[in-house]
Amino acid sequence: MREEDHRRLLDDRARHPERVAEAAAARGRRPLPAGRDQLLIIAADHPARGALGVGDRPMAMESRVGLLDRLTTALARPGVDGLLATPDIVEDLLLLGALEGKLVIGSMNRGGVQGSTFEFDDRFTAYDPDSIAAMRFDGGKMLCRIALEDPATPATLASCGHAVTRLAGHGLMAMVEPFWSRRVNGTVTHDLSPEGMIHAISVGQGLGATSARTWLKIPVIEDMERVMAATTLPTLLLGGDPSQAPDRVFDSWGKALRLPGVRGLVVGRSLLYPPGDDVAASVDTAVSLLETS
């Protein structure tokens, strides 16, 4: 980010808060789905849940200026369709003019802070459906971790169901990210077996009074053909925390993107903090994997 852009952002934040709403109202929008079969959306909602680590770097995302620099680089690459983020990041990028003509998906439930005793209490602490509609965004994303032994799960399911219904009422996408989860030695873990993912999808896609506007966001795991057979809903693949070699990750994405019903990628840390830190090259490789109509 240029120094003058950083200073202008700081000044707008302190002196001109009204410019956030003005930028949202003036933002040029695009249709969903856009002019091709698959989308690439850049995700940046982990910091609001206290999840700042990438790979073996536990504080990789600590610098907001550094994160914004990587995001503006990624969003400017040809073939990138939009952003998924919390209000603080969305508004920084609105003020920087980086979201013109992009899809914007607001992240909603960030209350389950990573590593906390209440991590399964995924309260809606960021956007809600009405604020997403008021800002002229394109949808809302919700994390839906289903933990059979945790009493916070019913409230999460009810909140997600309500959000799906309200977003559909506004004619907006409801992006549901379901996981079959539990604690192992005090740490929240997801069942990433095909059976675990199918259970999570089965519950997640049934939330709300209608599924007409529901999209799923799921990880790439083993036996993805069997997993994708569990739903007819449009599905986006998440990138997750990069722990494998990049070539292996991109290869797994490329194979999964060829399956029926897969409508693209929602990727954050894997593209924003790649080995070697060449964000543009990493994003361009992801774009090259997408099907075009």
pLDDT at 43 over 70: yes
Rounded-to-integer distance, Cα 175 and Cα 260, Å:
18
Surface-to-core class of residue 79, CB atoms within 10 Å of its CB (0-12 exposed, 13-18 middle, 19+ buried): middle
How large is the average pLDDT for residues 73-95?
98
- Residue 157 pLDDT: 98
pLDDT at 85 over 60: yes
- Domain holding 29: CATH number? 3.20.20.70
Name the residue with higher pLDDT: 293 or 193: 193
Rounded-to-integer distance, Cα 261 and Cα 280, Å:
27
How large is the average pLDDT for residues 154-174?
98
Cβ atoms of 39 and 265 within 8 Å: the answer is yes
- Residue 219 pLDDT: 97
- Residue 243 pLDDT: 64
How large is the average pLDDT for residues 139-158?
97
Rounded-to-integer distance, Cα 177 and Cα 201, Å:
9
- Residue 292 pLDDT: 63
How large is the average pLDDT for residues 238-263?
88
- Residue 291 pLDDT: 78
Mean per-residue pLDDT over the chain, rounded? 95
Q: Beta strands 187-190 and 173-184: pairing type?
A: antiparallel
Contacts of 261 (CB under 8 A, 6+ apart): 228, 231, 232, 233, 234, 235
**pTM for the predicted model, two decimal places:** 0.96
Domain hosting residue 259, numbered range: 3-289
Rounded-to-integer distance, Cα 29 and Cα 46, Å:
25
pLDDT in tens, 216-242: 999 999 999 999 999 999 999 998 666
pLDDT at 293 over 50: no
Cβ atoms of 95 and 88 within 8 Å: the answer is no
The number of distinct structural domains making up the chain is 1
Rounded-to-integer distance, Cα 121 and Cα 111, Å:
7
pLDDT at 247 over 80: yes
Rounded-to-integer distance, Cα 196 and Cα 98, Å:
38
> What's the angle, vertex CA 232, arms to CA 231 and CA 235, rounded to 5?
80
pLDDT at 152 over 80: yes
Nearest to 136 by CA among 97, 178, 90, 89: 90
pLDDT in tens, 135-144: 999 999 999 9
- Residue 242 pLDDT: 66
